[in-house]
Amino acid sequence: MAVGYLYDPIFLKHETGIHPERKQRLEHAMRHLAACGLLERLVALPSEPASLEDIARVHTPEMIEELRDLAQSGGGSIGPDTVVSPDSFDAALAAAGASIAAVRHVLEGTVESAFALVRPPGHHATPSAAMGFCLFNNIAIAATWALAEREVRRIAIVDFDVHHGNGTETVFRPDPRVLYISTHQYPFYPGTGHWRQAGVQVGIPNIMDIPLPAGTGDAGYTEVFTRLIQPTLERFEPEIILVSAGYDAHWSDPLAWMLLSVNGFRQIMDILHTAARALCGGRLALMLEGGYGLEAFKHCVATTFASLLDLPYDDPLGPAQESETDISAYVSQMCRWYGLE
């Protein structure tokens, strides 16, 4: 089945200067996808900017107006880490629109799976505030679009960015139609996402937070996805799986202290891809989030597409040189908390 991608040069016009979330991330990734022969195997999917109505399903009118006014006045900063340039508002609308289009094309069967290579990223943006490099919450906007416009009844969101997607969790905590699962380093920015805070709704977790200690690597993540995430997806029976794909848990990433390799990301993508085929006809839509070491980032994006295409991909960077943290006992504790053992 065909695999699609969504990309728009306007994403490069979200100018952030000397900043971890910079346009070179996408430039490197796109060049590498072309050079390694993956891009020619993919379907380029069309999209258009999200409408203000689409955005307003998630974000308050005051937040939307604040971002638009800041961009139109020449840009500036929101908090200590989130940059707005003159073209950022338009880029953010395009990123949200590409995320909606990824979901739409998958639901319509144009492709089996799709990856929206977007920036600015989104999973930290709350209904009322941009934060953490994020302007609009792309994956939340895409999911609410599917709930409203396609009457999808059950959506699962899996977020493997190294930071907890506090914005996405805030949007969907009260909505049992959406299962939100997040793996993330803890304690770490933004300070949320401990499993004891998530709670369980009617015996089935609508929010599954999986905080992991620094030093968790390939074995730990594979155990988490096998013992916690896969059975939870099976229990929820989603009609489509959405993924917040952040690659900052790679061992070389400058902003975190996890030990995933490119092969480790491939393993967790293979688990998600297999789950999608078993549970929802392969319907899988990904939206790009973090990942700030350019060399690792381009290979992680490539191995994600290789997984969706059922193709091999060699890891040129290899495993971390450090020994990873053994989290088996901790995973067992979380399994008991979430009713999986």
Q: Any idea what DSSP says for residue 228?
A: I
Tokens representing 68?
């638009």
Q: Which is it for strands 76-78 and 178-185: parallel, antiparallel or unpaired?
A: unpaired
Closest CA to 259 of 194, 325, 191: 325
Burial of 228 (0-12, 13-18, 19+ CB in 10 A): buried
59 is catalytic: no
Q: Any idea what DSSP says for residue 321?
A: S
How many angstroms separate the CA atoms of 190 and 185, rounded? 10
Q: What DSSP assignment string belongs to 241-301? A: EEEEE--TTBTT-TT---BB-HHHHHHHHHHHHHHHHHHSTT-EEEEE-----HHHHHHHH
Helices (H) and strands (E) in the chain, counts: 12, 10
Identity of the amino acid at 168: T
Q: To which H or E segment does residue 303 belong? A: helix 294-309
How many angstroms separate the CA atoms of 334 and 193, rounded? 13
User: Which entry of 105, 123, 124, 184 is annotated as an active-site residue?
Assistant: 124
Tell me the CA end-to-end span of the chain in Å, nearest whole number. Answer: 35
HEC-encoded secondary structure of 3-22: EEEECCHHHHHCCCCCCCCC
How many angstroms separate the CA atoms of 137 and 144, rounded? 11
| Torsion angles phi and psi, residue 56, rounded to 5 | -70, -10
Active-site residues, by number, are: 124
